[in-house]
Amino acid sequence: MSAEAAGRSMYLIGGRRVMVSDLLEAGLIKAGAKLRFKRKRIGATFDATVTDEGRIRLEPDGEEFRSPSRAAMVAAGMRAVDGWRAWVVVDEGRLLDSVRQEFLDRAIAGATTVDRKSEDRDRQRVHERLRRARARADEHNPERISVRALLSLWEATDRGDKIGQIEADLANHGLVTSPSFRAVTLDTVVSLTTPSDEGAPVIDDVPLGKDDEGGDDLNVRLTVGNLSPLEGVESVSPNSTLHEAVTKMLLNEFSQLAVLNGPRNLRGAVTWRSIAQAMHQKPDATVADALDTRVELVAYDRDLFEVLPLLQQHEFVFVLNESRVVKGIVTTADVAQRYGEMATPFFQVGELDQTLRWILNRTFAIPAIQPLCSRTVKSFDDLAFGDYQSILGNRDVWDKLGWPLDRQVFIARLEEIRLIRNKVMHFHPDPVPEDAINKLRSFNSLLHQYRDLA
């Protein structure tokens, strides 16, 4: 692969998953190449051929797929399998995943032989970092890293606009996070590992009936794990005294406590109500006497919306991690706090939008501001944040407002507000940072102080 072609390849795969057609175009695999998938556990073998278009044609029925995983799933009748690590290129005796890694290595090497822009240098840095993580995963010594630190490799602070690129880069290196970095908090520590040989969730799986790579990129759910760091739960055993349970609840300001007979054996919970009832009936009651067995266990990656009825009924649920170990708890207070964090910026942005519209409506007529907008606006209700910037950035408009404020500084902050607004309106599970909330509040406060001057 030439340096020019490698650089072009690096550009093309930036933010998306590598496909077999990429390997074909790069000359790393040939049309007509034979592929084989062996399921050693059941002694079954499946064959396929790479087509001229870079699709995988199953033998003998001739069904074709773009996705190696989809091809392997259909061939073997499995619900999930990582096709890149299932299919072997017969003539070369190596996994399709190995060919993909060579493609990435060549693309990166080619990109470094010419004067590339900083974006390419960032890709090279991420590539080298993930190559090391993959090597550790192959040695069964996976790297452990917090979700926040993982995102920082792509200079991201949340799971927003770059999540598709992050998942594509991980997938291209044959990596998954355990637990899923989408479904936990930013401070949860995850392992960078490879999927198990058979039956594990796959990194490039797609919804049934589809045949594409990266079908999970549009996942914007808020999960139970997004509210629980999965660091473990404070607990007592069924044989513990109520004094021990009460002390732990008081020290930690808990309203409930897990009762465990081992990390996977949840016997129930004790609550202030169950403790009071037990002691009322039996002054020398133990944890066993106060045990409430009507508790709910939910997986960390379960949709929070589905769990709300359980929380309404029980006030808390215990959370299982990817290994089915009790590792967290979510309460109604946690949900109220998270929805408050989510709702606050929406209301702040809405108040700011309405205030700016009110100020302009009170001071100007539509014909006066229409030429300042980049699109046709028929009323003040049609104005968007970009319009506010164009209108208030005009010196004549600013002078007519008569505000004793610096126009350029004001417009610069309005641009920051616009970016915050865009992030708020493109939902993802991470709360808006407190400094962003403070900027919204301060800007609203300023507008309220000066709106009567308009």
- pLDDT tens-digit profile of 217-270? 445 678 999 999 899 999 999 999 999 999 999 999 999 999 999 889 999 999
The verdict on 39 and 116 lying in the same domain is yes
Q: Which helix (H) or strand (E) holds 297?
A: strand 297-299
d(CA 319, CA 447): 44
d(CA 358, CA 348): 15
What is the extent of the structural domain holding 286? 235-324
Asked if the structure places residue 218 within a domain, the reply is no
pLDDT (mean) for 185-196? 91
Asked if the structure places residue 162 within a domain, the reply is yes
**Which pLDDT belongs to residue 207?**
39
The verdict on 27 and 116 lying in the same domain is yes
Q: How many residues does the chain have?
A: 454
**Which pLDDT belongs to residue 211?**
54
**Which pLDDT belongs to residue 13?**
61
Asked if the structure places residue 166 within a domain, the reply is yes
How many domains in the chain? 3
Q: How far is CA 336 from CA 120, 295, 313, 330, in A?
A: 43, 20, 15, 11
Residue ending a domain, choose from 301, 324, 347: 324
In contact, 157 and 431? CB cutoff 8 Å: no
**Which pLDDT belongs to residue 118?**
64
DSSP 86-101: T-EETTTTEEHHHHHH
The verdict on 318 and 391 lying in the same domain is no
Asked if the structure places residue 67 within a domain, the reply is yes
The verdict on 47 and 152 lying in the same domain is yes
**Which pLDDT belongs to residue 205?**
40
The verdict on 384 and 316 lying in the same domain is no
d(CA 179, CA 198): 18
Asked if the structure places residue 32 within a domain, the reply is yes
The verdict on 47 and 155 lying in the same domain is yes
- Domain containing residue 305: CATH number: 3.10.580.10
The verdict on 147 and 52 lying in the same domain is yes
**Which pLDDT belongs to residue 122?**
79
The verdict on 115 and 256 lying in the same domain is no
Asked if the structure places residue 214 within a domain, the reply is no
pLDDT (mean) for 32-60? 94
The verdict on 10 and 146 lying in the same domain is yes
The verdict on 24 and 157 lying in the same domain is yes
Least confident of 87-96, 169-178, 189-198: 189-198
d(CA 134, CA 168): 14
Least confident of 14-28, 90-104, 170-184: 14-28
pLDDT (mean) for 61-80? 92
pLDDT (mean) for 409-426? 90
The verdict on 35 and 173 lying in the same domain is yes
d(CA 83, CA 105): 20
- How many CB atoms are closer than 10 A to CB 115? 6
Per residue in 91-150, pLDDT tens?
999 999 999 999 998 887 766 554 456 666 778 889 999 999 999 999 999 999 999 999
End-to-end CA distance of the chain: 64
d(CA 194, CA 99): 17
Per residue in 315-350, pLDDT tens?
999 999 999 999 999 999 999 999 898 899 999 999
| Long-range CB contacts (within 8 A, 24+) of 206-209 | 206/67, 206/69, 206/70
DSSP 178-220: ES-TTSS-TT-EEEEE---SSSS--TT---TT---S-TTTT--
299: exposed, middle or buried (Cβ count in 10 Å: 0-12, 13-18, 19+): middle
pLDDT (mean) for 41-69? 93
**Which pLDDT belongs to residue 202?**
42
User: Among 442, 362, 367, which residue's Cα sits nearest to residue 401?
Assistant: 362
Residue ending a domain, choose from 193, 226, 256: 193
Asked if the structure places residue 213 within a domain, the reply is no
Asked if the structure places residue 422 within a domain, the reply is yes
Task: Please report which confidence band the pLDDT of residue 454 belongs to, taking 50, 70 and 90 as the band edges.
Answer: low
**Which pLDDT belongs to residue 65?**
95
pLDDT at 170 over 90: yes
In contact, 331 and 321? CB cutoff 8 Å: no
The verdict on 394 and 359 lying in the same domain is yes
**Which pLDDT belongs to residue 117?**
61
Residue ending a domain, choose from 296, 324, 352: 324
